[in-house]
Amino acid sequence: MPRDIPVGNGNLLIAFDGDYCLRDLYYPYVGQENHTDGHRFRFGVWVDGRLSWVRSSDWDLTLAYEEDTLVTRVTAESRSLRIHLRCSDSVDYKENIYIKRISLKNLSGAEREFRIFFHHDYHILGSPTGDTAYYDPDEKAVIHYKGNRYFLMSGLRNGFYGVDQYATGVKEFRGMEGTWKDAEDGLLEGNPISQGSVDSALSFGIKVGPGEEETLYYWIAAGKNYAEVSGLNGMLLKRGPDYFLQRTANYWKAWTGKEDLSLSTLPLRIREMYKLSLLILRTNIDSHGAVIAANDSDIQHFARDTYSYMWPRDGAFTAYALDLAGHLGVTRRFFEFCLDIVSEGKESEGFFLHKYNPDGCLGSSWHPWISGGEKHLPIQEDGTGLVLWAMWSHFERYRDIEFAVRMYENLVVRCADFLVSYRDGATGLPLPSYDLWEEKRGVHTFTVSAVFAGLKSAEKFAAFFGETERARKYEMAAEEVRDSMDRFLYSRELGRFLKTVIFRGNGSFEIDPTIDASVYAPFYFGAFGPRDERVENTMRAVRDRLWVKTDVGGIARYEGDGYHKVSDNIIDVPGNPWFICTLWLAQWHVARARNEEELKEALSLIEWVCERGLPSGVLAEQVNPFTNQPLSVSPLTWSHAAVVATVREYLDKFRKVKVCPHCGASIVGDGRE
């Protein structure tokens, strides 16, 4: 089930599923140490002798965010229980505290007693082994801990602090289901401590008059020891939970409105999606700089692993988008994270490996270091090129000289020298590496375009620092790469760029004629212009062959894509529609547009994306081509980064083409209100 309304602060990330169950809790890194391991934390209401756990099958649920914030706006109504809930969830922007505010309205004609239950199914450090759950009378809270990870749960209502009922127990052992079963009669047994594979439940009682509404609060404080969570608990009691909810809402409104950019020329739905995408991106970025691809743990059941890693390519696209939006502080930490990676180990030769954990350690991989008895580098070389590309965009926009000096020798030069050297002497093309989809080893149009962009960025850095010899070396290598791309990766016979070529030892090569959306890269990374005949031919082929011919529409990754495959009819459904691939087509329309009319094609594609997100606005990786239901992980960082980048590129181009017919000046101005 997709994650619908994540909230976080760069250290603590909470993610809910479509049933409004807390499913993922990451701390102290975003994407590392999921202390639920994807298990459900149940939340329910007991009244009139029965308990109902909140879920979409039994409740009318609406999951959304308050405008321009990472504070949720959730409504849940049970007609059978005659109650209506308005909930706000937030992780404080500064402290590692998750807070839920519940306004409970009694829809009946009589006063009733309600008991609100919260169930905790922790798997601290990803495992239930060695966990302890206990009731702490000093804090009037339930605490789960293992080693240096502590989680404290308590609450407040009607000025009364602490829990009314609690229980700890054993789960996942000898058929025991856990304390959530104990809660279903409305009473918890009060077992004060359990160890091993444990869970807990607590409840708050509150009386509500007929047609009236009462408010209660629940929170989780996360820390590395007892003193830390106790201190956070005391802070909550001293200032009150509303103080933290309000300051967090204010912070995110200020953050999204930082640039005061004019979005008034955009349809309302796109304006809302743009700002929401900025916020969703922030939830998936660790405070230490790692840009995490996604934090939906359900993908483990499909792929035996998660997306909770930093792929250099995804990170570079996200940094580029956030720089366009003016959030240089976040992107600077990403580049510093990359600098640390290439400063030691194998990567010090000037490349990035497959993917990385949020703490900077090398992530899991299925790319071998040897094939056919021969050693080769298991890299996706596009990641290395794109980090340089994004870094130059960052520097060009902000001109932070001290930052550039720190990055230049140890990251830019090191990686650029690798890109120069890691080429075939006969063709001038980059040596084989894995494609951006992590499926095929060869020489790919997308990768070659990214290498070109990386070399050109390094050339500009070298020229800025007055190193003409280095600048010339990178320039010559880039030109050789571009010339070879035209020679080997553009098929005159097919009239388009090829996905991949595989060179054989005797100088021959074979081509992969599959239409792949990633061949948009030659124009996007500057190797060829958007109106170049080769690009025009290629993008028309992408549009014609990869558009999904159902009511859903959208652009598929490539013909015959088998990932989360839904249909065998590859003529009408070449693959599932992906948000990023659809936005690549939009970016081409933006880049080639010479007037406002030509920009409309891009706008319609951006609107297509906005219309096919979850009701909350969250975007998955792909959607079902028949039902529009999200597939794979949700939210996907790259999807939201593509929204931000495409909208900013659209606005920049709109200002250029929207000119006064008499004087030629931009009617829109500089983009500020």
327 pairs with which residues across the strands?
none
Single-letter code of the amino acid located at 179: T
Residue 1 has pLDDT above 80, yes or no: no
Q: What is the pLDDT of residues 471-512, one digit of tens each?
A: 999 999 999 999 999 999 999 999 999 999 999 877 788 999
3-state SS class at 371: strand
Residues 189, 132: Cα–Cα separation, whole Å = 17
Residues 435, 446: Cα–Cα separation, whole Å = 8
pLDDT of residue 661: 52
Q: How would you label 322-342 residue by residue, b for 16+ Cβ within 10 Å and e otherwise?
A: bbbbbbbebbbbbbebbbbbb
Nearest to 434 by CA among 426, 442, 423: 442
566: left (phi over 0), alpha (psi -120 to 50) or beta: alpha
Residue 615: both structure tokens together:
């009701």
Residues 312, 386: Cα–Cα separation, whole Å = 8
CA distances to 380, 439, 445, 477, 512 from 509, in Å: 20, 19, 15, 22, 10
Nearest to 73 by CA among 88, 91, 53, 92: 88
Residues 278, 325: Cα–Cα separation, whole Å = 8
Q: What is the pLDDT of residues 82-117, one digit of tens each?
A: 999 999 999 999 999 999 999 999 999 999 999 999
Residue 605 has pLDDT above 60, yes or no: yes
429 with 485: CB under 8 angstroms?
yes
Residue 78 CA, chain-centre distance (Å), reads 32
Is beta strand 198-208 parallel, antiparallel or unpaired with respect to 165-170?
antiparallel
Residues 610, 624: Cα–Cα separation, whole Å = 15
pLDDT of residue 669: 42
Task: Tell me the torsion sign for CA atoms 237, 242, 247, 248.
Answer: positive
248 with 585: CB under 8 angstroms?
no
Average pLDDT over residues 218-246: 97
Q: Please state the domain extents for the chain.
A: 7-255, 259-286+552-673, 325-546
Residues 81, 647: Cα–Cα separation, whole Å = 44
| Residues near 651 by beta carbon (within 8 Å), at least 6 away in sequence | 261, 262, 263, 265, 266, 671
Q: How high does pLDDT run on average in the chain?
A: 94
Residue 440 has pLDDT above 80, yes or no: yes
Residue 308 has pLDDT above 60, yes or no: yes
**CATH of span 325-546:** 1.50.10.10
pLDDT of residue 504: 84
Torsion angles phi and psi, residue 44, rounded to 5: -150, 175
Average pLDDT over residues 380-406: 96
Residues 673, 654: Cα–Cα separation, whole Å = 15
Confidence of residue 671 (pLDDT cuts 50, 70, 90): very low
DSSP per-residue letters across 158-178: TTEES-SEEEEEE-SBTTB--
198 pairs with which residues across the strands?
170
E strand or H helix that includes residue 179: helix 179-182
Dihedral angle of Cα 91, 13, 623, 561, to the nearest 10 degrees: 160
219 pairs with which residues across the strands?
99, 154
Rounded to 5°, angle at Cα 637 from 69 and 95? 45
606 with 236: CB under 8 angstroms?
no
Residues 380, 438: Cα–Cα separation, whole Å = 8
pLDDT of residue 395: 97
% helix, strand, coil for the chain, step of 5: 35, 25, 40
CA distances to 340, 349, 386 from 412, in Å: 13, 12, 11
HEC-encoded secondary structure of 263-296: CCCCCHHHHHHHHHHHHHHHHCECCCCCECCCCC
Residue 647 has pLDDT above 50, yes or no: yes
Q: What is the pLDDT of residues 531-547, one digit of tens each?
A: 999 999 999 999 999 99
**CATH of span 7-255:** 2.70.98.10
pLDDT of residue 672: 31
Residues 419, 425: Cα–Cα separation, whole Å = 13
User: In the block, which residue shows the tokens 């820390």?
Assistant: 223
Confidence of residue 261 (pLDDT cuts 50, 70, 90): low
618 with 555: CB under 8 angstroms?
no
| H-type alpha helices, 437-524 | 445-464, 468-484, 521-524
Residue 136 has pLDDT above 90, yes or no: yes
Single-letter code of the amino acid located at 627: T
| H-type alpha helices, 222-262 | 226-239, 241-256
145 pairs with which residues across the strands?
132, 150
More confident residue, 270 or 261: 270
Residues 558, 499: Cα–Cα separation, whole Å = 9
Length of the chain: 673
Neighbouring C-beta atoms of residue 461, cutoff 10 Å: 25
More confident residue, 665 or 374: 374
Single-letter code of the amino acid located at 649: E
Single-letter code of the amino acid located at 428: G
Residue 331 has pLDDT above 80, yes or no: yes
- Name the packing angle between helices 468-484 and 445-464 (round to 10°): 160
Residue 41 is classified by DSSP as: B
Dihedral angle of Cα 341, 347, 350, 355, to the nearest 10 degrees: -70
Q: What is the pLDDT of residues 36-94, one digit of tens each?
A: 999 999 999 999 999 999 999 999 999 999 999 999 999 999 999 999 999 999 999 99
pLDDT of residue 665: 55
Q: What is the pLDDT of residues 337-384, one digit of tens each?
A: 999 999 999 999 999 999 999 999 999 999 999 988 889 999 999 999
pLDDT of residue 664: 56
Task: Count CA atoms closer than 13 A to 384's CA, side-chain side.
Answer: 35
Residue 183 is classified by DSSP as: G
281 with 637: CB under 8 angstroms?
yes
Q: What is the pLDDT of residues 11-30, one digit of tens each?
A: 999 999 999 999 999 999 99
CA distances to 141, 445, 624, 662 from 189, in Å: 16, 64, 45, 80
